[in-house]
Amino acid sequence: MLQDSKDKRTYDAIVIGSGASGGWAAKELCEKGMKTLVLERGRMVKHIEDYPTASKAPWEFEFRGVIPIEKRSGIGAANWGREETLHWKLAEDEQPIIEEKPFRWFRGYHVGGKSLLWARGSQRWSDFDFEGPARDGFAVDWPIRYKDLEPWFNHVETFVGFAGNRDGLPELPDSIVMPGFELSCIEKYYSDQLKEKYGNRHLIQGRCAHLTDPQEIHKQQGRNKCQNQAMCNRGCVYGGYFSSNASTLPWAEKTGNLTIRPDSVVESIIYDEAKGRATGVRIIDRETGEAMEFYSKIVFVNASTIASNAILLNSKSSRFPNGIGNDNELMGKFLACHNYRGKGNAQFEGFLDKINDGRNPGHAYVPRFRNVFKQDTDFLRGYSIGMSGGRSMGSDTKGLIGDQLRDNLLNQRPNDTWNMSAWMQGETIPIETNHVRLSTDQKDKYGIPKIILSVEWTENDDKMTADFLQQQTEMFEKLGFKNINVEDTKSPPGSDIHEMGGVRMGKDPATSLLNEWNQLHHCKNVFVTDGACMTSTSTQNPTLMFMTLTARAANYAMDELKRQNL
């Protein structure tokens, strides 16, 4: 009976996490015939049927989306959000953490993870990004370069579907794209003037994971063209943007090789000392509290950066007393993110005969222009800039009632000026003191050690933010904008939702945890392909990198299994 039970809990592969990278691991493994178990600590979310607020109009909410005070308890006083997305909120007692220094950790604990919540920006890396650590000596050299990922970028982009343009910029390699969303007239003006006045600075349409011209591969997924509703983080019934729920997980399920187990809080990875490899995963059932074990030939860790670090650190054995694969005791260290502190906006007095028509689910984008081809500032690396320009409609409702109020509401007029907003996305330099570790004396309700986060900005981040403030102000001024307001918001690390590192890739087992195939140096059948694997952060939105690294590693893992190397 015991053996029969174990056989029923044994798979070819286990994937921890069901978000963007976990979904890709499941898709690739199942397509190649691997019986795959996906473990998700949160609840089940099924595409379409579990999006309760999708496409709802404001008047369909009791308070037009505002959460009444009596419902705000238990979701964090500083993070009330709105009713449209309240169903994604994490219960306060689900995973309490210890903030040694202020940090905002946003989680997506449900099937699909943050692939249902992401901003969908997707830019490729270039060798200027991969070579950053080698040039300036911070972090360690990446064990891969653009040529290693180019075919896998192609593979992922073809399946996912991205909207954008081919811009021909060496610092931002072109992607496989569908027609992009049109820039507004103010954004086109900014783009033309920026190139004219600076030469090496470009405003382009940011590439985003939306279908504007669905191909056969997307129709086979059951996905349809983006409807420009701009309600994406509620869940999209059309599958117009990429999520695991709309794309990779149902694709994997069609093979008959996928098992998804929600409500499965992963406690640790099981290491067999005699076999010298991982043999499975221990979980706590979130609803029953029962401890269980599942077994497999390979394990993919895709729980999201901080959670992945915590699982690996908690996977202790006689061979690995500091966490599986953590011989050099660097696991959890060199945690990094993106610097979003700089924000700005300004007004433009022209184009008064024009107005926005429709919604753009993406935004404009200025690729990094600092320290790309050479070091030209007193800080390391650089920042990209997200931008959005528009002209809103408004109504005069002051002191009005009756027919006049109704007529004014129905016949809105454009506001006087166009507005342009800007936000920086800066590359932080990974340093050893920025880290995640496990508490030795406090545990959560599942009996798992609490996570301690200790991350702060550095002098390099301060200098980079100051440069953004100066440069963005100058650009607004040179391009003829008025009422300029550019500021350092002082937001803490984590506000970008782009945490990375802690289990970084590298060439040398003495200074890194993973090799060029995302394998733990000292436990070859464990692969880490979410944000935890990142050696440095660059300035691009990272999810495309996570998916690409995952697809590459999953295919390598299957080849190694066939060769009996795992």
In whole angstroms, give the CA distance from residue 21 to residue 530: 6
Reading the block at residue 311, the tokens are 């699982």
The full DSSP string for 471-494 is HHHHHHHHTT-EEEEEEE--PPTT
Q: Which residue has the tokens 């000026």?
A: 417
Q: With 0.85 as the threshold, say if the pTM is over it.
A: yes
pLDDT at 399 (0 to 100): 63
pLDDT at 401 (0 to 100): 76
pLDDT at 138 (0 to 100): 87
Cβ 76 vs Cβ 300: under 8 Å = no
> Measured between alpha carbons, how far is residue 465 from residues 192, 318, 472 in Å?
25, 45, 10
pLDDT at 498 (0 to 100): 95
pLDDT at 441 (0 to 100): 97
- pLDDT, the chain, mean: 94
pLDDT at 207 (0 to 100): 97
Cβ 203 vs Cβ 187: under 8 Å = yes
Q: What is the pLDDT of residues 294-310, one digit of tens each?
A: 999 999 999 999 999 99
Q: Which phi and psi angles does 103 have, rounded to 5°?
A: -155, 135
Reading the block at residue 70, the tokens are 């009596």
pLDDT at 400 (0 to 100): 64
Q: Please, which contacts does 483-487 make with residues 24 or more away whose CB atoms are closer than 8 Å?
A: 483/346, 483/347, 484/344, 484/345, 484/346, 485/344, 485/345, 485/346, 486/342, 486/343, 486/344, 486/345, 486/422, 487/342, 487/343, 487/344
69: nearest Cα among 77, 59, 61, 57: 77
Residue 31 has a CB neighbour count (10 Å cut-off) of: 17
451: nearest Cα among 489, 491, 494: 494
* Rounded (10°) CA dihedral 228, 234, 239, 241: 60
In whole angstroms, give the CA distance from residue 50 to residue 60: 17
pLDDT at 393 (0 to 100): 72
Residue 78 burial by Cβ neighbours in a 10 Å radius (0-12, 13-18, 19+) = exposed
pLDDT at 2 (0 to 100): 56
Q: Which phi and psi angles does 528 have, rounded to 5°?
A: -120, 115
In whole angstroms, give the CA distance from residue 462 to residue 455: 14
The full DSSP string for 161-201 is --B-----BTTB-----BPPPPPPHHHHHHHHHHHHHHSS-
Handedness of CA 224, 391, 422, 101 (dihedral sign): negative
Cβ 51 vs Cβ 74: under 8 Å = no
Cβ 461 vs Cβ 428: under 8 Å = yes
Residues with pLDDT less than 70, the chain: 1-3, 72-80, 396, 399-400
In whole angstroms, give the CA distance from residue 461 to residue 341: 9
Strand (E) or helix (H) holding 38 = strand 36-39
Q: For 407, how many CA atoms within 13 A lie in the half-sphere containing its CB?
A: 4
306: nearest Cα among 536, 531, 49: 531
In whole angstroms, give the CA distance from residue 137 to residue 147: 22
